[in-house]
Chain A
């Protein structure tokens, strides 16, 4: 009852006796006095009780405030029936019941609106709090009560700010500032100005925010409030953060922190600690920020600020992913969501819960990559469940952004688990489609994107996506489809060539129908996807279409790209003359638009062709490539240039130089690292430098993961096996094949079985087969290489894993449909 001390000790106007607030049975006294006022139909006293309810609520007596509101509501409206009239209702039911009433510009209904708004704020129904306070503000305006209107608008502005609805917050805060100024209440005007400044910062209106803060700077000295002084400094700090002036911001926040402690404002202290954590993370990095996160989280927990605690826990878990790892990050969110699983304040609880789900999925993905499918399952299931629950709540609340995030993470999870059908079905049948909200519609888009990869749902998915009027989604709808297509063709665990292709076709159709300005770029991207799917004729048609569009638009950049892609297609079909001609055209156009990266890539295409038939021309082009690379290009382009140099050296027999260049290229490249490392090893094999070869291999193997780079390495390194074998080094050839097989086997078992030719699974199978073909070819009736492979596999990974690899090879051989990589020996 300590907080009641702040309330008036007697209130004869309300019928409360002296010292009522010190009586242990004060609730009964209060309710009895209220009933008397109701019986007397004394509106002025009832309004007084509503105001007392607001005070009680602010002192944490939410249940009593709710009881007052309930009694006043049923008194006000005789037509209110059902549970709200029959028995004690929960605060949330009272808030809902008041919200459902029509607004009336009379003293009592307006006071009840304000009381319900205060209760809503206290129990985390922030949206209702904003609406009820806004309604109360209008009511007080009609009653010409500026101060009360200002208070209500101020509460609405704060609530909308919390809900990240800055425009509504600005509107309410502006009204509050005006009312308090009319009433000559400079203290409350200051508070409202600070909220208004926060909203302006959110809206990116920093000049306006600076104006408000500067006005507060004029008012604060006369008000002499440590609390407001601290809030003022905190708001100024926010502007400094937005402008990138971190040191000034830090200084202001430290002053605000001291002020908050001096004034005993725990919430402000927690808010400032939170700001300091965020600032430290941004300015000095996660390690430095970790202690601020700990302080902020601990203080929020001690102070019982549930919503703050949940919000800070999310930030602290972000920090932990960087500093302590995923397990600790998950533990933070598990602790906080478990602790508040009863009250579940919106929207922060569900956001923390959704974050927990995302982190569990991230851990499952990591386990999938590291240890294979079986170990990942529990985290996937836990993550799925957490996200499904949160998703339902987000849709109910109409929180489109968070519903979208949760749905996209679920979509990734289902794809990784091969559960496209189950996932699509869940999204479609969970009832979201029946709810007319942008959030629900967004989920259907996600369902349709996912369903493209499910045979039973593909037809619905495609027709549903086609039926979407592009203008509904803005001109980015084609790009949204294209983006999904890129995701499914990134040659990682999500690889789904067929779906990627379908989505890109859809993107092109939507773009063409809508005369989208990016149509030409998307058609070019479609050609790339068709090439991946080995649909050469269609790919050629797409590139030709892109070239036509580029010519119509006089777009050299697009033409250069499409020409290079078309050249690559012809090169694969061994139509080298046409390919070379197209590469040259592409390179010249790329140079003309200053795209040196593309110019290098296209010129490198010509050297690849010339190396076989015209080495001197290849050498000349390589010099041009080196010159271009020296003019400032991306690391990837410099790697391509180094690889061209390496290839030229390799053809000349300068293997040491070739090794050095490929080795350097590997260190620069993120796209072709595996390939360059394999070529570097091949150069060492050609030099018959066994010692260096083994040293390099020993260094490379632990750094390889379960990804497309590894499979490129597994395929390309087999060339070195031939080099060793031709030099009579059977044992070294065996070591090479062993390394390739062990890596390919590990990658194979980390992914879902798939029939997609571009999937890691099938490409790993192909690499395993390629290794076996090399052994069969090299042994030529004997078994020396096979024996060496077996021995080296055991040495590399141990007996038990070696046995597992043998089982996998036997299993892979039982599938006769898998071919080896068609051309594991292409240079560059």
Chain B
């Protein structure tokens, strides 16, 4: 007997064993058609969080397989802020990063709700020096569940570390299954007619 034969015999005894190493198998399967995971950046657009938005875009874009959707870069040039389009994109994103530095507008709530309905991973980052109205504090409290990453930050460096850790931990591998759903939305592009 050699190790191969012994392994085959022993392996046969565990034929009923649970499928293992799904991660590598999934990596291979999903590597077939890996559309980028879209991470939607949501926050007030009054200029108060511009630096944080840029930093978030930078961190998300640096991760292989991730693409940040943000108004500054992805909305059509010259178009006015279109609520239903933002909400639509939030709903069909894989992740949503919500940056909070004070009050939250109804459209931001709507984007967040849409992302939640669409099954996106959600990350809520709150700037330390923010004065939060009651509704925002209550919202954060309600969302502080195991499903949502909530962290405070006092500067951009902290925000970047939070993003780096959160995205690596929860998106790189754990979300492979979710790519399937997202892929289908993206894949309809291949339906484009040629004549």
Q: Which residues of chain A have a CB within 8 Å of any CB of chain B?
A: 121, 126, 155, 158-159, 161-162, 164, 194-195, 198, 200-202, 204-208, 231, 234, 238, 241-245, 267-268, 271-272, 274-275, 278-279, 281-282, 286, 311, 314-315, 318, 321-322, 354-355, 358-359, 361-362, 365-366, 368-375, 405, 408-409, 412-413, 416, 474-476, 479-480, 483, 486, 490, 492-494, 517-518, 520-521, 550, 553-558, 561, 592-595, 631-635, 637-638, 702-707, 710, 742, 745-746, 748-750, 753, 797-798, 800-801, 803-805, 807-808, 811
Contact = CB atoms under 8 A, between A and B. Distances in A.
Contact of B92 (A126, A242, A705, A742): A242
A370 B20 contact: yes
30 contacts: A158-B192, A162-B192, A195-B193, A198-B189, A206-B76, A206-B85, A243-B88, A271-B193, A314-B32, A371-B8, A373-B4, A374-B7, A413-B28, A475-B62, A479-B63, A479-B64, A521-B160, A557-B165, A558-B161, A632-B148, A704-B18, A705-B18, A707-B21, A746-B10, A746-B17, A750-B7, A798-B13, A805-B10, A808-B3, A811-B3
A492 B168 contact: no
Contacts of B157: 517, 520, 550, 553-555, 558
B180 A322 contact: yes
Contacts of A245: 88
Contacts of B88: 206, 242-245
Interface in B149-195: 150-155, 157-158, 160-162, 164-165, 168, 172-173, 180-181, 183-185, 187-195
Given A362-B25, A492-B24, A634-B146, 13 more contacts: A241-B188, A282-B184, A361-B28, A371-B15, A372-B7, A409-B32, A475-B62, A556-B158, A557-B153, A749-B4, A749-B7, A807-B1, A808-B6
B192 A801 contact: no
The 4 closest A-B pairs by CB, nearest first: A705-B20, A749-B7, A243-B88, A244-B91
B106 interface: no
B33 interface: yes
Contact of B185 (A241, A274, A373): A241
B16 to A, nearest CB: 6
Contact of A369 (B21, B154, B180): B21
Count chain B CB atoms within 10 A of each CB in A126, A359, A557, A710 and give the residue with the most: A557
A132 B16 CA distance: 58
Nearest to A670: B174
A164 B189 contact: yes
A336 to B, nearest CB: 15
Decide if the interface of chain A is mainly helix, strand, loop or mixed.
Answer: helix
Nearest to A521: B164
Contact of A479 (B25, B32, B62): B62
Count chain B CB atoms within 10 A of each CB in A359, A558, A635 and give the residue with the most: A558
B151 A595 contact: yes
A199 to B, nearest CB: 8
A706 B14 CA distance: 10
Nearest to B80: A207
Given A205-B76, A553-B157, A405 B31 contact: yes
Contacts of A370: 11, 14-15, 17, 19-20
Nearest to A478: B62
Nearest to B4: A374
A803 B88 CA distance: 61
Nearest to A747: B20
B192 A804 contact: no
A475 to B, nearest CB: 6
Interface string B112-140: 00100110000000100000000000000
Contact of B151 (A194, A490, A557): A557
A486 B160 contact: no
Contacts of B18: 702-705
Contact of A359 (B5, B29, B155, B191): B29
Contacts, number: 313
Nearest to A204: B74
Decide if the interface of chain B is mainly helix, strand, loop or mixed.
Answer: helix
A332 to B, nearest CB: 13
Contact of B146 (A638, A702, A710): A638
Contacts of B79: 205, 207-208
A705 B21 CA distance: 8
Count chain A CB atoms within 10 A of each CB in B19, B21, B63 and give the residue with the most: B21
A52 to B, nearest CB: 18
B9 A800 contact: yes
Contacts of A811: 3, 6
A480 B172 CA distance: 12
Given A207-B79, A243-B92, A365-B24, A476 B13 contact: no
Contacts of A520: 157, 161
| B: contact size bracket | 35 or more
Interface in B1-54: 1, 3-21, 23-25, 27-29, 31-34
Contacts of A231: 193
B105 interface: no
A520 B160 CA distance: 10
A121 B193 CA distance: 12
A271 B9 contact: no
Contacts of B126: 594
Contacts of A703: 17-18
B91 A275 contact: no
B146 A632 contact: yes
A241 B185 CA distance: 7
Contacts of B162: 557, 593, 595
A492 B21 contact: yes
Contact of A279 (B29, B151, B188): B188
A205 B74 CA distance: 8
Nearest to A637: B146
Given A321-B29, A745-B10, A749-B6, A278 B62 contact: no
B25 A366 contact: yes
Contacts of A742: 10, 13
Given A244-B92, A486-B172, A632-B145, A278 B16 contact: no
Given A555-B158, A749-B6, A365 B16 contact: no
A797 B192 CA distance: 55
A638 B147 CA distance: 12
Interface string B65-108: 00001000011100100101101110110000000000000000
Given A405-B31, A594-B150, A274 B191 contact: yes
B63 A412 contact: no
A279 B146 CA distance: 30
Contact of A371 (B11, B25, B192): B11
A420 to B, nearest CB: 16
A632 B150 CA distance: 9
Contacts of A634: 146
Given A161-B192, A278-B188, A371 B76 contact: no
A749 B3 contact: yes
Count chain B CB atoms within 10 A of each CB in A272, A274, A314, A804 and give the residue with the most: A804
Contacts of A521: 160-161, 164-165
Contacts of B27: 412
B173 to A, nearest CB: 8
Contacts of A745: 10
B104 to A, nearest CB: 17
A275 B185 CA distance: 9
A306 to B, nearest CB: 12
Contacts of A282: 181, 184-185
B3 to A, nearest CB: 6
B59 interface: yes
A204 B88 CA distance: 11
